[in-house]
Amino acid sequence: MSASGQGAAHQMSHTLPNLPYPFDALEPYIDAKTMEIHHDKHHGTYVNNLNKALESHPDLQRLTVEELLAQINKVPENIRTAVRNNGGGHMNHTMFWKIMKKGGGGEPSGDLAGAIKSAFGTFADFKTKFNQAATTRFGSGWAWLLFRDGKLVIESTANQDNPIIDSGRAFFGLDVWEHAYYLKYQNRRPEYIEAWWNTINWSQVADNYAAAKR
Ligand code: MN3
C-alpha cells in the first residue's frame, strides 16, 4: 500500500504517550502497580513491536496507526499479524488511558447522554449491556461503544482488535485482558468492570463521541 496522497504526517516511529495522570490516580479502583506495568511494559511493548514490524517497510512508517488498521488487509502478509496485534494494542491503550481520570465516574451528559438513551434506554440499561459484553468476552479482549453504519452499538473484540478493522468507529472501550486487573482482582473480572466505571472521564468520552460521529 502506498502512503502517498493520504495526507499522513511524516512519522518515523510510533511513540508511547505519557499517562495523563500519576500511576496511583485511579486508586482504589485500579491499583498503581497495575497501571505502571500496564502502561510502561504492556503498552510500551506494543509500540516497540509495531515499530519493529515496520522497520523493513519505510512506506508504511508514514501512516498513522488508524490508517494502518483501517486497511490492515493491504499491509504485507509477513507483518500483517504483528501490525494488527501491536498496532491495535497501541491504538486501544492510547484511548483507554484518556477515558479515565482521577475522580471520574458518574454519568455522561449532553449529546452523548441523549444518544445512549435513545440507543439503549436508561444509562443503567446501557451499563448492564456493556458489562455483559465485557464479562462474556472469552479470554483476552475489549468491550466497545462505537458507531457502526451510523448507529450506536456495543460490541466486543478478541485480542487487540479495534473495530476500525471492519469499519467500526469506537470511542469508548474497556480492556478485559487479565493484565488489566489480575494483580488486584485476580479472576474476578466482574468486580474490576464494576469498579472501572468509577474512573470514567465522561467529558473526554463526549469529545471522542463527537469526533467519531463526524
Ligand atoms: Mn491492556
Supply the CATH number for residue 43's domain. Answer: 1.10.287.990
Would 18 be classed as within a structural domain?
no
132 and 202 housed in the same domain:
yes
Of the residues 53, 73, 98, which one is the last residue of a structural domain? 98
Residue 7 vs residue 160, higher pLDDT: 160
Ligand 1: distance of its center to the CA of 100 in Å?
14
First to last CA, the chain: 26
The pLDDT score that the predictor gives to residue 12 is 62
**Percent of the chain beyond pLDDT 70?**
94
Ligand 1: distance of its center to the CA of 93 in Å?
6
91 and 116 housed in the same domain:
no
Could you give the 3-state DSSP secondary structure of residue 106?
coil
The pLDDT score that the predictor gives to residue 6 is 42
187 and 117 housed in the same domain:
yes
166 and 126 housed in the same domain:
yes
The mean pLDDT value of the chain amounts to 94
Ligand 1: distance of its center to the CA of 130 in Å?
18
Ligand 1: distance of its center to the CA of 175 in Å?
6
| C-beta of residue 88 within 8 angstroms of C-beta of residue 162 | yes
pLDDT in tens, 150-208: 999 999 999 999 999 999 999 999 999 999 999 999 999 999 999 999 999 999 999 99
35 and 116 housed in the same domain:
no
Of the residues 53, 71, 98, which one is the last residue of a structural domain? 98
Ligand 1: distance of its center to the CA of 35 in Å?
10
Would 38 be classed as within a structural domain?
yes
Ligand 1: distance of its center to the CA of 3 in Å?
29
pTM of the model: 0.93
Number of domains in the chain: 2
The pLDDT score that the predictor gives to residue 214 is 86
The pLDDT score that the predictor gives to residue 88 is 98
Of the residues 77, 98, 119, which one is the last residue of a structural domain? 98
Ligand 1: distance of its center to the CA of 180 in Å?
5
The pLDDT score that the predictor gives to residue 150 is 94
Ligand 1: distance of its center to the CA of 36 in Å?
11
What CA–CA distance (Å, rounded) separates 43 from 47?
Answer: 6
Kindly report which listed range (6-20, 103-117, 183-197) carries the lowest average pLDDT score.
6-20
pLDDT in tens, 40-86: 999 999 999 999 999 999 999 999 999 999 999 999 999 999 999 99
- The number of angstroms, rounded, from the C-alpha of 94 to the middle of its chain's C-alpha atoms is 7
User: Cell 467529558, residue?
Assistant: 203
94 and 150 housed in the same domain:
no
Would 132 be classed as within a structural domain?
yes
Would 2 be classed as within a structural domain?
no
CATH code for position 114: 3.55.40.20
Q: Which domain holds residue 172?
A: 110-213
- The number of angstroms, rounded, from the C-alpha of 95 to the middle of its chain's C-alpha atoms is 5
Ligand 1: distance of its center to the CA of 209 in Å?
22
117 and 76 housed in the same domain:
no
Ligand 1: distance of its center to the CA of 42 in Å?
7
209 and 143 housed in the same domain:
yes
